[in-house]
Amino acid sequence: MENTTSATQEPAVAQPAPIRRLLSLDALRGFDMFWIIGGEEIFHVLAKTTGWAWAIFMADQFTHVDWNGFRPYDCIFPLFLFLAGVSTPYSLGSRLAKGDDRAMLARKVITRGLILVVLGIIANNGLFTKAFSDMRFGSVLGRIGLAGMFAQLIYLYVGNERTRYGIFAGILLLYWALLMLVPVPGFGAGNLTMEGSLVGYVDRLLMPGHLYKVVHDPEGILSTLPAICTGLLGVFAGTILRRHGLTDNRKIQQLVLAGVSCVALGWVWNIVFPVNKNLWTSSFVLVAGGWSLLILSLFYWVIDVQNIRRWTFFFVVIGMNSILIYLAGRVIDFEHTANFLFGGLLHYFSEPIQAVGGVLAFLAVKWLFLYFLYKKKTFLRV
């Protein structure tokens, strides 16, 4: 953690500090992280305490699909990785334009990716608290670190945009072929169940420690391959937004067209290769990536084009320190602090208000912690 001297130098998640920041990017990252740090609990406690139909519906949307299928909550994680890709043309692109050494930038990218892998392992297991065989090595931060790292290396060393698109399509097709054609002992080829998929088999064969779902890890080894494409989709979006020869309206049109096309193609592909977050299937990459493109275009239009910005501050405070608040929840008992500050007051209200108030108090304590760091210009640089 370090103190910065200027708000314009605040870093992006897992990225070098870009020269020009998009407020929409920080706001959207904060909006995404808001649900990760507990925002979805508002709907869950409302559904549990009131039984309201709309609350039950929303609570259901803020849960993950068990296996095949897609809900909005399944987009939260890939959106985070997508946004790391969006900032790449601003950060690395500006440095390349200034003549920075490509190999030096690549070393920084690799170092950053490996640091995130280590932080992910620590977040899963704590420090020196578990035997090696009991540790879980796959992690959300590890997936962001590795997939983002490879997407950035492709950006650094593949200058031709068409070639990047070709790599993107090639990875998705290769992953499809691997899962459908490579036989798994005892299950054969093309088995997409948790136990019988090639993804789970590779995890059981090669990943040390224990797997999150015993026979399968959603942040395992082989499924990192298509996750690179999620990062690349962000790179493609960032390239469009940074392009000087396009008007803002034209940029938005291209993002929306790309988003709709990806969602449509992903659901067509779903017929033969199901949309599945746990396997991070190629169709899932397109559906989640398509929605990420559409959400980004909306935030960009509202914030950076229409200049409607006052509402963004709440989310920007979260977005500027998103990795920090993700890790802080492992070592700081925010719930205890919220109960200490607001618990006595909430006892005077009915059960639904107590439940929702408890969640809001928990989120408020987290936000105030981030606001304190924001005012001190203190941000976690990875």
Name the 3-class secondary structure at 275.
coil
Which is nearest to 25 in space by CA: 247, 315, 236, 364?
315
| Whole-number pLDDT of residue 21 | 65
Q: How many helices (H) and strands (E) does the chain have?
A: 16, 2
* Segment holding 2, helix H or strand E: strand 2-3
Burial pattern 85-109, b for ≥16 Cβ within 10 A else e, equals bbbbbbbbbbbbeeeeeeeebbeeb
For residue 232, give every residue at least 6 positions away whose Cβ sits within 8 Å of its Cβ, in sequence order, or none: 85, 151, 154, 164, 167, 168
The ranges assigned to domains in the chain are 2-379
Query: Other C-beta atoms within 10 Å of 345: how many?
Result: 11
Q: Confirm if 13 and 83 have CB atoms less than 8 A apart.
A: yes
The Cα 167–Cα 158 span in angstroms is: 10
At 162 the pLDDT is 95
Quote the pTM value.
0.90
Helix or strand run (H / E) with residue 272: none
Distance (Å, rounded) from C-alpha 88 to C-alpha 368? 29
Pull the structure tokens for residue 194: 């948790």
Provide the pLDDT for residue 4.
44
Please report the pLDDT score of residue 348 as a whole number: 66
Report the alpha-carbon distance of residue 358 to residue 116 in Å, rounded: 31
Predicted confidence at residue 315, as pLDDT, reads 96
Alpha-carbon distance 285 to 224, whole Å?
Answer: 11
First vs last Cα of the chain: how many Å apart? Answer: 8
Residue spans of the chain under pLDDT 50: 1-19
- How far is residue 41's CA from residue 135's CA, in Å, rounded to a whole number? 28
